[in-house]
Structure 1
């Protein structure tokens, strides 16, 4: 870890941010981002569907993906991990445990969610990356990471069923439950 990486973590740990906002490290520095009703409600509904439709797995959010790469630890909006691998004393999850990650797009995060994060997640070997765009009521599922890029892309509109491969199962999300801004 470089001095800059250590400094960022120290600052993030010590700054108090209201519950209605998130502190994000972007290429522009540390940014306080408001969390909209559409974002949080959609995130919660995704987590609920994971819990209901993926036996033996638990939904999680509010975590960092480790190890840091290029000084960056992404914080996806949702994922699932096997129940028997949950570490209740941790707020980070190893990239090796993640079968997929979900990002719910906010006005502030749109560029990162579509243009920066796909390569970050593909480089980590995360098998699937779902972008849920509450601004346009569309979704994009990227799969098959290879050499830092996802090789397959599917997309659709809210109302579609989204099939995400998870280990030896398929998680089917009902996007009609998602909320548009």
Structure 2
């Protein structure tokens, strides 16, 4: 049985999820309330700026086609026409990361290396135009953009009292203080 199939068939205790990252099955707890609150704030800001043809979705599985890795970003944005799956079985619950316009991760103590180093490489490989990292411990936001190969060529960072600007089609600024008061 391959890793993605094994990961999706694991019986986990309530409150845990699996991802396939760098060829390994990673089991982690679901987010804390503070973590979820940060994600919701970002989603609301994006929703206010969006046309109705895009969907922001939380905790969905995306596959990096070139590696077979499967990530569960805290938030993804993709065209609404692609967000509607055909059902709950089979491949319809997994979308290719190539369809994403934005992936967002809020860093937890146990996910720091994956969120800052591993996942940016995977999302860049998939051509995801924007990858936003929110790190409460560092009080920092980082917007990765302009993917080429397995790297993002540009990274805009913001600390307290600063913000990062998501380019069109979003056209919004996200302030560190709005997420990490």
Partner Cα separation in structure 2 for residue 53 and residue 149 of structure 1:
28
Q: 1:141 corresponds to which residue?
A: 143
Cα pair 1:125 1:145 within 8 Å, conserved: yes
Task: Note the C-alpha offset of 1:148.
Answer: 1.4
Partner Cα separation in structure 1 for residue 140 and residue 64 of structure 2:
30
- How many residue pairs match? The answer is 174
Cα pair 1:81 1:99 within 8 Å, conserved: yes
Partner Cα separation in structure 2 for residue 121 and residue 92 of structure 1:
15
1:58 lines up with 2:60 in the alignment: no
Return the TM-score normalized by structure 1: 0.82
Q: 2:27 corresponds to which residue?
A: 31
Partner Cα separation in structure 2 for residue 174 and residue 84 of structure 1:
29
Alignment of 1:67-78 (within 5 A): 68-78=65-75
Task: Note the C-alpha offset of 1:176.
Answer: 2.5
Unaligned runs of 5+ in 2: none
Cα pair 2:7 2:18 within 8 Å, conserved: no
Unaligned runs of 5+ in 1: none
Deviates more, 1:49-58 or 1:21-30: 21-30
3-state SS of the aligned residue for 1:73? strand
Shift of the 30–112 alpha-carbon distance from structure 1 to 2, 3 Å rule, reads closer
Q: 2:115 corresponds to which residue?
A: 113
3-state SS of the aligned residue for 2:71? coil
Return the TM-score normalized by structure 2: 0.82
